[in-house]
């Protein structure tokens, strides 16, 4: 399923990258202050900008898009600190003299 943005007036479809600017969307946090447990206490800079206005390329009417972002984490990711090994067999080459 594609995530598309539809013009509320004419139903023209847009991809998010056509409307949102990546730098504004993700923000520019800097000097992120965290406590000893890694919880964010504050930051300087710009937070994510999830609201954008756009003029439709088809009907020329303006509309507003509000993004709803969810982040999910997964603990089933391979641990790259763990040592993995693979058995390698001695290469051999056989030629058939037919």
Domain count, the chain: 1
- What pLDDT score does 98 carry? 60
Is 74 inside a domain boundary?
no
Residue 10: inside a domain, yes or no? Answer: yes
In a domain, 73, yes or no: no
Host domain of residue 48? 5-66
pLDDT digits (tens, 9 = 90+) for 12-36: 999 999 999 888 888 999 999 999 9
- Domain membership of residue 34 (yes or no) is yes
Instruction: Look at residue 77 and tell me if it is in a domain.
Output: no
What pTM was computed for the model?
Answer: 0.64
- Look at residue 75 and tell me if it is in a domain: no
Nearest to 66 by CA among 88, 48, 41, 44: 48
Paired residues of 40 in beta bridges: 34
Residue 92 within any structural domain of the chain: no
Q: From CA 94, how far away is CA 31, in angstroms rounded?
A: 62
Q: What is the spatial distance between Cα 84 and Cα 53, in angstroms, rounded to a whole number? A: 50
Q: Is residue 87 part of a domain?
A: no
Closest CA to 54 of 17, 1, 28, 23: 17
């Amino acid at each position: 399923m594609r995530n598309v943005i539809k013009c509320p007036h004419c139903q023209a479809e847009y991809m998010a990258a056509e409307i949102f600017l990546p730098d504004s969307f993700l923000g520019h946090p800097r000097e992120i202050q965290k406590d000893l447990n890694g919880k964010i206490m504050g930051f300087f800079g710009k937070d994510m900008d999830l609201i954008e206005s756009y003029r439709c390329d088809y009907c020329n009417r303006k509309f507003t898009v509000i993004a709803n972002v969810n982040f999910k984490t997964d603990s089933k990711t391979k641990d790259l600190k763990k040592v993995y090994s693979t058995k390698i067999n001695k290469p051999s080459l056989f030629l058939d003299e037919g």
